[in-house]
Amino acid sequence: MTDRRAARIELSGVTKQYGAVTAVRDVSFTIAAGSLVTLLGPSGCGKTTTLRLIAGLETVTSGRIMIGGDDVTALGATDRNVSMVFQSYALFPHMSVLDNVAYGPRVGGRSRRQAAESAREALAGVGLAELADRLPSELSGGQQQRVAIARALVLEPRVLLFDEPLSNLDARLRRQMREEIRALQQRLGITVVYVTHDQEEALGVSDRIIVMNHAVVAQEGPPRDLYESPDDVFVAGFMGETNRVKGVLWRLDERTGRLTIGGLTRTVPHRGLADGTVDVAIRPEAILIVDGQPTGGALRGTVSQAAYLGSRMEYSIASEIGELFVTSPAVDAPLAPGAPVALTLASHGITLIRP
């Protein structure tokens, strides 16, 4: 059963109910072997439950789960060859770091010597070889995280699961740990499912993102697709700040259409929407503040609030098409509230939203 190769994960029609609460409803998706896929969504949308269903810590109410081509729906966590890094790390507080990592091989029936040997190897893999004799309580948060990862990897699982792995770390450490996890995954080529509620983290780490909302999958795709062409209002809003405005669509061909917003026009994918008035989501960085009178027309507006955030400026701008939220990299030339501005639209970051 020990299978060194990464495994593909397939959920079909998976539902999980706790009494009257449906935590996961009819979820289906496939995760390619050797990829890192994030489950992203607001708190309570069912991410953790989905992850625990894959781990075998919960049993499905209905549906089927396949890992590496085997139907594991009826198997318990012990028999799935799937490892998990818990949000709280779940290190055994009464065991040394080495014993924690050696736990899996030990209860799997390997000798004390063999178990300690593979544990040392795994610890070396996360750069903690010299802390083997400490107790978990004597480690920093980041070190505990690494021990948890070593403990999960020592059994060479087919799939590695992370539940909000960075939520207990401080902001500075978070980016470093995220990069380490990504590097480790690429080096070992294992399948990783990664749960987070932070869209930036998801964008930074994933091959693909599965956005969940209210117990169902809202949208699935590569990070760029989700950010730039969200399917609906929820995904658009969850992946980042957006401005929602009305526009008029005129289909040009199979794929694209001409979108008119308050005198500005852009060519965008029409996404199957009919001609006429449509909802549009515009990223704040896709609204450009221009000097003078640009060719091709502009929107007129007045700055109503301005904030300096170090790397960028944030403005609220009252315009002909409504109140707009705009970011600008031009921190050297800040605009004061009351200043009149002309606005145009970038060529990306503008999406039609299905109703």
Partner 1 sequence: MRDGLRRWALVWSLVGCAGLALAPWYAASDGAGPGKLQLLVPGLALLAALALRNLPLRLGRATLGLRLMVLGGGSFIYIAAQGFAIGGQPGMGLGAAVVATSLVMLFALGLAARGFFKGDAFVAGAVVVVAVLVVFFTLYPVARILLSAVQGSDGAVSGRALAERLFAAKIWRLDCLTGGRSCGVGWNTLVLALLTATTTTALGLAFALVVTRTGFKAKRLLRVLTVLPIITPPFVIGLGLILIFGRSGLVNQLMEWAFAVPPSRWIYGLPGVWLAQTLSFTPVAFLVLIGVVEGVSPSLEEASQTLRADRWQTFSRVSLPLMLPGLANAFLVGFIESIADFGNPIVLGGNFGVLSTEAFFSIVGAQLDQGRAASLGVLLLVLALGAFFVQRRVVGRKVYTAISGKGDGGRPAPLPPFVRRLAFGVALPWTMLTLSIYGMALAGGFVETWGRDYTPTLRHYAKAFSVEWGGTGIIWSGSAWRSFWTTLELASIAAPLTAALGILTAYLLVRQRFAGRAAFEFATMLSFAIPGTVIGVSYILAFNVPPIELTGTGIILIVCFVFRNMPVGLRAGVAAMSQIDGSLDEASRTLGGRSFVTLRRVILPLLRPAVVAALVYSFVRAMTTVSAVIFLVSADYDMATTYIIHRVLNGDYGVAIAYSSVLIVLMLAAIGLIQLLVGERRLRRGAPALEALPTGPIA
Binding site for ligand ADP (CB under 6 A): 18, 21, 23, 41, 43-49
Q: Which of 138, 179, 200, 320 binds partner 1 (CB under 8 A)?
A: 138
Per CB under 8 A, contacts with partner 1 among 66-85 are 76-80, 82-84
Residue 195: beta bridge partners? 39, 163
Rounded to whole angstroms, the Cα distance separating 105 from 134 reads 19
Give the whole-angstrom CA distance, residue 285 versus residue 312: 10
Interacting residues of 31 by C-beta distance below 8 A, sequence separation 6+: 8, 9, 10, 37, 191, 193, 208
Binding-site string for partner 1 from residue 144 to residue 183, where x marks contact by CB under 8 A and - marks none: -------xx--x----------------------------
Do the strands 313-319 and 299-308 form a parallel or antiparallel pair, or are they unpaired?
Answer: antiparallel
41 versus 104: smaller Cβ distance to ligand ADP: 41
Q: How far is the CB of 308 from partner 1 (least distance, A)?
A: 31
Binding residue (CB under 5 A) for Mg ion from 35, 48, 196, 319: 48
Q: Which stretch binds Mg ion (CB under 5 A): 47-55, 73-81, 204-212, 271-279?
A: 47-55
Residue recorded with tokens 């729906």: 73
What the block records as the tokens of 206 is: 């994933």
Residue 65 lies near partner 1 (rule: CB under 8 A): no
Q: Give the C-alpha separation, 284 to 248, whole Å.
A: 20
When CB distances are held under 5 to 8 angstroms depending on the partner's kind, the choice from partner 1, Mg ion, ligand ADP, none that residue 56 binds is partner 1
Interface map 289-328 toward Mg ion (x if CB under 5 A)? ----------------------------------------
Total interface residues for Mg ion by CB under 5 A: 1
Closest CB to partner 1 among residues 57, 342:
57
Smaller CB separation from partner 1, 99 or 220: 99
**Is residue 196 a contact residue for Mg ion (CB under 5 A)?**
no
Piece of the chain touching Mg ion by CB under 5 A; list 40-48, 78-86, 218-226, 288-296: 40-48
Backbone φ and ψ for 318, nearest 5 degrees, come out as: -85, 120
* Separation between Cα atoms, residue 279 and residue 46, nearest integer Å: 28
234 binds partner 1 (CB under 8 A): no
Q: Under rule CB under 8 A, which residues in 92-131 are in contact with partner 1?
A: 92-94, 103-104, 107-108
CB 9 within 8 A of CB 177: no
Write down the least CB distance from residue 21 to ligand ADP, Å. Answer: 5
Q: What is the 3-state secondary structure (H, E, C) of 92-111?
A: CCCCCHHHHHHHHHHHCCCC
Q: How far is the CB of 48 from Mg ion (least distance, A)?
A: 3
State yes or no: residue 213 binds Mg ion (CB under 5 A).
no
Question: Which residues contribute to the site for partner 1 (CB under 8 A)?
Answer: 55-57, 59, 76-80, 82-84, 86-88, 90-94, 103-104, 107-108, 135, 137-138, 151-152, 155
Question: Which residues contribute to the site for Mg ion (CB under 5 A)?
Answer: 48
